[in-house]
């Protein structure tokens, strides 16, 4: 469980990135943190594994205050994948990259081998095992960064913009993976701008603006409320846009899923025919 209590945070240059944020994320939750560039999303999630410590207020991870423990101890439980994979990758081969943290955490050679194989397979990277990460495409490098964190199997996974540069199939895999993590009782927090990805997964959405939380609730409700979204520079998902325009027909507005949309339209047409 992650408990954030009235947290303020200022960077050394004086910019106040968080202005009193309170939030509780329970184990096994899937949360999408959304909002405009510079809203404080990344700053907030960096508090979840102790990379940043609050200037004011408290952050507790599984009951332990982050100021009272080390990043190394917190990292074992909370894996963080950065927005830009190049901030994270440094090894000669993809395999070494994934092995790095596992070695640091003191896993046995045999386990390391198994974990590497598992993580690379999961993210369709097996063929690049011996390749330098820097020869891979942007989307592939992003997956290497993800694989290197997944490999040590943390309880909480924090993904900063995981869908950037990913094609539709990879996003689909990521989504299935998140579902799988949840069935194992793991917590997944993503920072994202990708409304379509969120619309397809329907997680809890936390909407931020200028260092504060402006909305917190079910994705389907938040992503279909234009007044709330507009203040965070988020646009409606395409299906929601369509239903907004169909409002004169008296159809529901809170629709974000293509297949839900199909059912509603078919039913409404059927009723008209009668």
Partner 1 sequence: MVLIETKNLTYTYPGVSKPSISDVSIKVEKGEFVLITGPSGCGKTTLCRCFNGLIPHFYQGELKGEITVADMDTTKHQTHEMAKSVGLVFQNPENQLFALSIEKDVAFGLENLGVPREEMWERVEWALKLTGIYDLRERSPHEVSGGQQQRVAIAAVLAMRPEIIVLDEPTSFLDPLSAEKIFEVIHELNKKLGITVVLVEHRLDLTAKYADHIIIMDEGKVCFDGDPREILSAEETRLIGVGIPKATLLYQILKKEGINLNNLTPLSSEELAKMLLEAFETHD
107 vs 197, beta carbon nearer partner 1 = 197
Binding status of residue 237 toward partner 1 by CB under 8 A? yes
Contacts by 213-219, CB closer than 8 A, 24 or more apart: 213/21, 213/22, 213/23, 214/35, 216/23, 219/32, 219/256
- Six-digit token string for 162: 């995981």
CB of 61 to partner 1, least distance (A): 26
The DSSP output letter for 103 is: H
Q: Please tell me whether residue 65 adopts helix, strand or coil conformation.
A: strand
Q: Please tell me whether residue 8 adopts helix, strand or coil conformation.
A: strand
Q: Show Cβ contacts of residue 215 under 8 Å, excluding neighbours closer than 6 positions.
A: 205, 206, 207, 222, 225, 228
Which residue from 70, 137, 183, 184 is in contact with partner 1, where contact means CB under 8 A? 137
| Size (the chain), residues | 274
Binding status of residue 258 toward partner 1 by CB under 8 A? yes
Geometric angle at alpha carbon 71, from 69 and 77, rounded to 5°: 90
The DSSP output letter for 236 is: P
Binding status of residue 68 toward partner 1 by CB under 8 A? no
Which residue from 170, 187, 201, 224 is in contact with partner 1, where contact means CB under 8 A? 170
Q: Which of residues 82-101 bind partner 1 (CB under 8 A)?
A: 83-84, 86
CB of 271 to partner 1, least distance (A): 9
Which residue from 72, 135, 179, 218 is in contact with partner 1, where contact means CB under 8 A? 135
- What is the binding site for partner 1 (CB under 8 A)? 13, 35-38, 83-84, 86, 135-140, 143, 161, 164-171, 193-196, 199, 230, 232-235, 237-239, 241-242, 245-246, 248-249, 258-259, 261-262, 265-266, 268-269, 272-273
């Amino acid at each position: 469980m992650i408990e954030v209590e009235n947290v303020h945070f200022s960077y050394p240059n004086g910019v106040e990135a968080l202005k009193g944020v309170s939030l509780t994320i329970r184990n096994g939750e899937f949360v999408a943190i959304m909002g405009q560039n510079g809203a404080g999303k990344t700053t907030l999630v960096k508090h979840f594994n102790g990379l940043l410590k609050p200037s004011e207020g408290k952050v507790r991870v599984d009951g332990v205050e982050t100021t009272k423990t080390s990043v190394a101890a917190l990292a074992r439980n909370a894996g963080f994948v950065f927005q830009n994979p190049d901030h994270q990758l440094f090894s000669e081969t993809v395999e070494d990259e994934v092995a790095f943290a596992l070695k640091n955490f003191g896993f046995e050679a045999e386990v390391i081998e198994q974990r590497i194989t598992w993580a690379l397979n999961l993210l369709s990277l097996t063929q690049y095992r011996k390749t330098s990460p820097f020869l891979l495409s942007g989307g592939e490098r992003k997956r290497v960064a993800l694989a290197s964190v997944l490999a040590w199997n943390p309880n909480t996974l924090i993904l900063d913009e995981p869908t950037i540069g990913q094609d539709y199939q990879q996003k689909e895999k990521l989504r299935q993976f998140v579902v799988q993590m949840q069935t194992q009782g793991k917590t997944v927090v993503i920072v994202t701008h990708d409304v379509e990805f969120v619309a397809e997964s329907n997680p809890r959405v936390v909407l931020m603006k200028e260092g504060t939380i402006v909305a917190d609730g079910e994705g389907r409700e938040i992503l279909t409320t234009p007044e709330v979204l507009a203040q965070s520079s988020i646009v409606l998902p395409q299906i929601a846009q369509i239903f907004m325009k169909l409002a004169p027909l008296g159809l529901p507005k809170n629709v974000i899923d293509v297949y839900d949309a199909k059912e509603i339209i078919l039913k409404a047409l059927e009723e008209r025919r009668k």
